[in-house]
Structures are given as structure tokens and as C-alpha cells.
Structure 1
Amino acid sequence: MFEETIFSKIIKHEMTADILYQDELVTAFRDVFPKVPTHVLIVPNILIPTVNEVKNEHEQTLGRMFIVASKIAIKENISKDGYRLIINCNKHGGQEIYHMHMHLLGGIALGPMLSIN
């Protein structure tokens, strides 16, 4: 149903990326098309296509994603002023790559949570 993604290649070091963190559960790297000064993607090392496929056995991995986000925010000096974490799910949620991932966004004031035209 779902195939390996560009994120899978980054995790396996088959494709280059600016990796900021990697362990047995998650990998974090800078987005190649950043929307704000700090734009980092945090992905599980196993393929979980969307939030809809999350299972109980993924709990440790998902928790690690938040821990890593916090550590990177501190290292990037955005933790004091604040940052946003976003996980998109499916087409209407804005998901483009079907390998669940968390966006860590910061470095500027991000404004309202959502703006719909």
C-alpha cells in the first residue's frame, strides 16, 4: 500500500541531508525548503505512513520525537521565544510525503495557528 519514501533514504544515509540527530528510533534533519529560519523534520525510522496508522507499539518512537524536538529547539536557541510542532495527516491535512513526520518551526514569530482564506 505505502512504499518507502525519500525520508527512508535519508534515514539509511542513501541520500544526503543535514542530519541534526539520529538514534535507533528517530532521525531529525533540516528541511531542504525551509518555511522559517529553523525548519527541522523529525521522522520515525520505521515507515508509519500517517497518524492513522499509529499503533500502541509506536508509543516510544512518538515520545522520542517530542524529546528530540525539545532538544533541538534548545540547541537552535528557539526554545525561550517559542516554536511550533506540526504533524500533518493525509491530503486535507496538508501531508505531502506519506512517512509520518513532525515539523519543528521557529526562529521568528509564527502568528496565528491557522489562517484559512
Structure 2
Amino acid sequence: MAGEPQADCLFCKIAAGDVPATIVRETETTLAFRDISPQAPTHVLVIPKVHYSDAAELAAAEPVIAGDVLREAGQVAADEKVDGTGYRIVFNTGPGAGQTVFHAHAHVLGGRDLQRLV
């Protein structure tokens, strides 16, 4: 059921503390941790603690929590000190866009020139 933890979801397991991750921020509704395969010097994932398969599903069902994810992404950028030079917040939605874990999540990328990335 959407919103409920999924037994086979890696990010649900990380949120529950069952799988280790390098956590950089945590709120009541979100968790932010370092990507295990970073694409930039700063590459942090921000997830909602509730399970929705992608950003669109999360936004439709839980717009306040979707806003929490975005707010925390901005706070991660500030904490990582990339807010002054520029950063990206990316939501991959679907396998054709590169989504490999089907739990909504934002990638916060910064610390290098990102202008050439689309």
C-alpha cells in the first residue's frame, strides 16, 4: 500500500535503520544520506520516510511531505556549502529517466560545474 514501508525497498530499509547509510540530516518526515556512487563532490539523497514510488506519486498523495523533501534538499545544499555556488535537485522518475530505486527521492548535487549536465 502506498505510504506504507515496503519490505523489498532499499530506501524503506535505510529509513528504518535496517540498512546502514551515511546520514547527514534527519527530520520527522525525511532522511538525507550520501549516495554510495556519487556523481559530484556533493551527492546526497533526500527521501521521504513514507513510501511512494516516485516524486509525482508523492506530490499527489502527500504534498506537504513533498515540500519537506524540497526544503531539506535546500538545507543539505546549505550544510554542504554549495548553496552559494549552485546546486541541482534532481528527481528521476521511471526507469527511462534512470530511476533504479522506486522510492521517491531527490538527488542534491553540487561542488563542481554542473552546467553541462542536463
The reply to whether TM is greater than 0.5 is: yes
Is 1:5 aligned with 2:9? yes
Superposed, 1:38-77 pairs within 5 Å as: 38-54=42-58, 56-77=60-81
Q: Percent identical across equivalent pairs?
A: 32
After superposition, the C-alpha distances for 1:65-95 in whole angstroms (9 at most, x for unaligned) are: 1111111111111000000010011111111
After superposition, the C-alpha distances for 1:21-50 in whole angstroms (9 at most, x for unaligned) are: 112211100001111100000001011012
* Distance (whole Å) between structure 2 residues aligned to residue 104 and residue 73 of structure 1: 7
Q: Quick one: which of 86, 101, 104 aligns to 2:105?
A: 101
* Distance (whole Å) between structure 1 residues aligned to residue 29 and residue 100 of structure 2: 22
- Could you tell me which runs of 5 or more consecutive residues in structure 1 were left unpaired when the two chains were aligned: none
- Could you tell me which runs of 5 or more consecutive residues in structure 2 were left unpaired when the two chains were aligned: none
How far does residue 105 in structure 1 lie from its aligned partner after superposition?
Answer: 0.2
- Correspondence for 2:93: 89
What letter is aligned with 2:17?
Answer: H
Residues 80 and 54 (structure 1), Cα distance of their counterparts in 2 relative to 1, 3 Å cut: same
- Correspondence for 2:37: 33
* Distance (whole Å) between structure 1 residues aligned to residue 59 and residue 107 of structure 2: 21
Choose 37-46 or 67-76, whichever is displaced more: 67-76
* Distance (whole Å) between structure 1 residues aligned to residue 40 and residue 53 of structure 2: 25
Residues 74 and 52 (structure 1), Cα distance of their counterparts in 2 relative to 1, 3 Å cut: closer
How far does residue 58 in structure 1 lie from its aligned partner after superposition?
Answer: 0.7
Provide TM-score, normalisation by structure 2: 0.88
